[in-house]
Structure 1
Amino acid sequence: MSAIAFLATDPDGYALIDLRDHGSAQRLRPLVHVSREDFATTVASIEAEFEPRWAMLRTSGWMPPLLSAGVYLAKAHVLSLAQRIMHRSPLAGKQIPDFDLEHSETTTEHFNQDALFDAPTFGDSLEDLIQLYTQQRQALPQDPVARKRLELLIHAESVGALIACEMEHAGLSWDEAGHRALLREQLGERVSEYARPPKLALKAQELALALKTPGLNPDSPQELLKALHKAGFAVRSVRAWELEQIKHPLIEQILEYKKLSRLASAHGDVWLDQWVKNSRFHPHYVLGTVVSGRWAASGGGALQLPHAIRQVVRTGPGRTFVVADGRQLEPRILAAISNDQQLQQAGAQDDLYQWLLDAKLVSTRQEAKLGMLSVIYGGGGGASGAVGAALTKSFPTAMRFVEQAATAGQQGEGVRSFLGRGCPPADEQWMRAQRDTADEASQRAADAAARARGRFTRNFVVQSTAAEWALVWMGHARHLIHQAGWSEVCRQVFFVHDEIVFECPNELADQLQRLIAHAALLAGRTLFGAASPHFPVSVAISSNYADAK
């Protein structure tokens, strides 16, 4: 028996739980009115007996008290995330309205099932949830393959939301004292939030002197660019990646200042006070807002931890990190979604790039990596372009697949991931700019916009499917950890794109490493079936996150 449990707000109390048979929609229990005090124990009891799929509008209202009580939910259907997926997916059987994920926490109006094109807001009463869930089920495609894929995407996204809540609750182990010591060493004594730390202030003065610009504010891109032009540096911007191309002592001074300034603003004392509690970093992860399906973070810079900061990400005594990432994931994903047998053969061994070297398609592993990424992302200049041409000749099916995606983007069409996450077609303003090319300048602009959109859609079909694989990988790892009885001591604590960080007791690290590798195998089979390409993972075990990178 498959059960679904609707978790809704009780207008006369705290929560309503409506437990139903998923197939017949018949209630398995009378409607349960739950007080705040009994909420966690009631949910745990239902989970233990029925293991239902928990249907909720969002995770934010329900997961914190459950996690505080140690309650584990195996499955979920997060209606807000599912609504965004269904709204954008070309696999959906009919059009349904979007959900405002970006501002959803402030919505209070009720769902209006008749206003399909009005971008409505949604409430979380039981009636709202059941109506919304019913609409989503009715919009699933009739084709069984497409239906299975879209359902898998919704379920994976929903479990991902549970994992995000679990990571936020657990936090990432952080050496707070070590971080403070690093700040004192690099920046000097702590000052007020609006003043430069002493060592940074000194470097600002040295820059002003070196550039012969008294009073220079090096944090102002306009002022710094003007000073560089005055000093004879013909740079277009003061972005670090552009300045790094210039080998000059003065430029090195600027880059050093930028590095310290970034440390002070992004991970200084104020950041530490706000985001690290009891030696744990608690970022807030956001799902569903990035079109490709990748995660974002709301505050805290969780997805951008510089190397200087990673050294203070350390576990306590007796515990360690197990850091895993998919090896050469995107080329392997391309091999799977394009069904390119030659590329799948290349990826049959752990090191796909070594296969390219052995086949004499490239001279170095770096050439292999840059060339492969070039053909995926639409680059084509220099040496990587020549390597890309050789790869295109060797893997014509895969290259034709991404070229078709690029052509669709250039024409303003939408594309989709393997499971059905949609990249919407271009809007009317973009299409109008493509049509209204009365002069040479507007034609150049239109052509540049078309090429840029083509690169985006070319990238999207691979990157979004890679994000799906990562979701399923995390879901399998979470399930296997729970099955092993390790949920209380082995926890996922961090995630960036295709890298997962777990924390566990030292004595379980080797077993956890094998479990994670098995979860990657299961993820490939879940998405692509028994003929799935090989998806190896690299795993490092260390009590210091910087050493595992």
Structure 2
Amino acid sequence: MQVIAGREEDGSFTVQSPSSTANGLDDAGFAALARELEASLRPRWVFPSVELLYPVLVAAGVRVERCYDLALAEGLLLAHEGQEGQSRSLRAAWARANGEEAPPDSADVELAQPTLFETRVPTLPEGVTVVTAVRRVLAEQERRVAAAEHPDRMRLLLAAESASALAAAEMSADGLPWRADLHEELLVSRLGPRVRAGERPKVLVELAAKISEAFGGRPVNPDSPPSVVKALAWAGIEVPAARKYLLKGIDHPAVGPLLEYKELSRLYAANGWAWLEEWVADGRFRPHYVVGGVVSGRWASRGGGALQIPKVLRTCVRADPGWKLVVADAAQLEPRVLTALSGDRRLADVAAATDLYARLGEALFSGARWVPAAGDDRDDRARAKIAMLSAMYGGTSGEAGPLLALLRQRFPDAVSYVEHAAQAGERGERVRSRLGRTSPAPSAAWRALTGGLASDEAGELKARRASRGWGRFTRNFVVQASAADMTAVMLATLRQRLPAPAHLVFFQHDEVIVHTPAELAEEVSSAITDSIAEAARMLFGPACPVRFPMQVAVVDTYADAK
């Protein structure tokens, strides 16, 4: 059963169900009709964009079970067809479906009455309603899906991405439980009392004075990297930049306060009092998630830094009284995804362990004539991790090259899989994830540089570097994008499995947090582990030999989960 809902240029809603069409609905009317249709029909809703329409329903307390997001589907299909970079709006998709030139983004939308997310509605040709456009674009997308390399996989991807969009809107509305009072206490304990905007907190002022004193009283601005580099040069220490990892190895009395200043300054700038006032209200942190915001399919966030909650602030993420946080992350997800993609049976045996890297270390170095470099005190697990990351990211410097060679010798199928993807990238070809996410084409400048027209040795060197660089991108894309496929399917299935009133409140790459009444925590934990197993079956088939364990913790505060 299918129901189409869209917003017209005047801001009103139109809903077309199998039995009738309702036009000119305001927000309340749209929500009331949607509630009725969801309860009676349990349809698949078709939205021009979940991001733009669904928040209206969620704000009214209406949740839908399933949907199809035309905008997300359009973006994935355009990329699959080698047309990434084009507008995925309903107006543009309508034009393409009718063989017309699609207008640029700036011309195909206008602002409706401002809302929390600045809802945009399409400017369609005169006489064309949103529902008419949706029906036409949906039919055209279904034709394009049927022509895809693997239609069934693409259908699964579009369904999972659409369900992810529902989850993202619900998570933004529900919010992550956040204790503003604890956050405030932490800021005061770390930085001192709150100061006016533009001023340094007391602790930063004191650290800045210590830094200058360590340089013999020479004025140094710790917020200015060039000032720090210049001061170090004055002290006889040459560094290319004032990065944390470069400073750590320097023996100078200014380094300690410099590193502390950097850490606290970042806390103040990224998650200080201004952030707390802007993003936390009524005990909830409500960021805006962007599904598929990264080219590999990973989520992004718009404001608030939702995907980068510092460890120091995780103590502020606390369940409500009588509730729990169920925190789960997929253990070493990307190496396991690579194992399933490549069909490497020997590596699948390794992946049966919860700690894949530890078992991989045993498999790589047991009986191997491996002589560590001088001063290398890493254990076999750490070396195995370097080898695997080198395979997935193309690292060859230092010890990575020999370790990758050993991995290739022991697990040739897995390493060959990513190396073939790298070779395709070096040739300027596209690669795909398991379900059909497609890498972008390299730029015209890249093609000009690598086109074999270099006239000198320096030009040839640049061309080889550019070619290898794009190969590293495609090497990692096939793994990271397939992992994004898997987590999208897992998220979609988990959303359906969660018992009410438990709900998702956080998602990041391979980690989820569910806020649940304490008595449902065990059921939620089982739902999470069942969802990742189901996602593995849906992506790689029922005979997939790879184990995908979830590390699940039931806690009162996020800080206790790890």
Question: Could you state the TM-score of these two structures normalised by the residue count of structure 1?
Answer: 0.90
Q: Which residue of 2 aligns with 1:500?
A: 512
1:442, distance to aligned residue in structure 2 (A): 2.3
CA deviation digits over 1:3-52, x for unaligned, max 9? 22211124577211123xxxxxxxx2121233422222211221222222
- Secondary structure in 2 aligned to 1:235? coil
Matches of 1:149 and 1:110 in 2, distance apart?
22
- Secondary structure in 1 aligned to 2:173? helix
Q: Which residue of 1 aligns with 2:496?
A: 479
Residues 141 and 225 (structure 1), Cα distance of their counterparts in 2 relative to 1, 3 Å cut: farther
Which piece of structure 1 moves more, 289-298 or 355-364?
355-364
Which piece of structure 1 moves more, 345-354 or 334-343?
345-354
Residues 289 and 469 (structure 1), Cα distance of their counterparts in 2 relative to 1, 3 Å cut: same
Unaligned runs of at least 5 residues, structure 2? 110-121, 124-129, 367-378
Matches of 2:101 and 2:340 in 1, distance apart?
36
Matched, 1:388 2:404: yes
- Secondary structure in 2 aligned to 1:431? helix
Matches of 1:446 and 1:228 in 2, distance apart?
36
Matched, 1:138 2:137: no
Alignment check: 8 A CA contact 2:315 2:558 kept: yes
Unaligned runs of at least 5 residues, structure 1? 20-27
Matches within 5 A, 1:66-215: 66-89=57-80, 92=81, 99-100=86-87, 111-113=94-96, 114-116=99-101, 119=104, 121=108, 123=122, 125-142=130-147, 146-212=150-216, 214-215=218-219
Matches within 5 A, 1:121-520: 121=108, 123=122, 125-142=130-147, 146-212=150-216, 214-359=218-363, 361=365, 364-435=380-451, 436-481=453-498, 484=499, 486=500, 489-520=501-532
Q: Which residue of 1 aligns with 2:554?
A: 541
Matches of 1:308 and 1:222 in 2, distance apart?
28
1:62, distance to aligned residue in structure 2 (A): 2.2
1:402, distance to aligned residue in structure 2 (A): 0.4
Alignment check: 8 A CA contact 2:504 2:512 kept: yes
CA deviation digits over 1:324-363, x for unaligned, max 9? 1111111110111112222222223333234324435366
Paired letter, 2:100: A
Q: Which residue of 1 aligns with 2:40?
A: 49
CA deviation digits over 1:151-204, x for unaligned, max 9? 111111111111111111111111111111111111111111111111112211
- Secondary structure in 2 aligned to 1:323? strand
Matches of 2:427 and 2:84 in 1, distance apart?
25
Matches of 2:410 and 2:92 in 1, distance apart?
56
Paired letter, 2:418: V
Paired letter, 2:532: A
1:244, distance to aligned residue in structure 2 (A): 2.5
Alignment check: 8 A CA contact 1:83 1:99 kept: no
Residues 289 and 354 (structure 1), Cα distance of their counterparts in 2 relative to 1, 3 Å cut: closer
Matched, 1:5 2:3: yes
Alignment check: 8 A CA contact 1:83 1:97 kept: no
Matched, 1:17 2:9: no
Alignment check: 8 A CA contact 2:180 2:280 kept: yes
Which piece of structure 1 moves more, 324-333 or 228-237?
228-237
Residues 167 and 86 (structure 1), Cα distance of their counterparts in 2 relative to 1, 3 Å cut: same
1:250, distance to aligned residue in structure 2 (A): 2.1
Matches of 2:34 and 2:523 in 1, distance apart?
31
- Secondary structure in 1 aligned to 2:150? helix
Alignment check: 8 A CA contact 1:189 1:197 kept: yes
Alignment check: 8 A CA contact 1:330 1:462 kept: yes
Q: Which residue of 1 aligns with 2:117?
A: none
1:530, distance to aligned residue in structure 2 (A): 0.4
- Alpha-carbon RMSD across the aligned residues, in angstroms, is 2.2
Alignment check: 8 A CA contact 2:504 2:513 kept: yes
1:248, distance to aligned residue in structure 2 (A): 4.2
Q: Which residue of 2 aligns with 1:60?
A: 51
Alignment check: 8 A CA contact 1:321 1:544 kept: yes
Residues 213 and 291 (structure 1), Cα distance of their counterparts in 2 relative to 1, 3 Å cut: farther
Matches of 1:540 and 1:190 in 2, distance apart?
35
Residues 428 and 174 (structure 1), Cα distance of their counterparts in 2 relative to 1, 3 Å cut: same
Identity percentage of aligned residues: 38
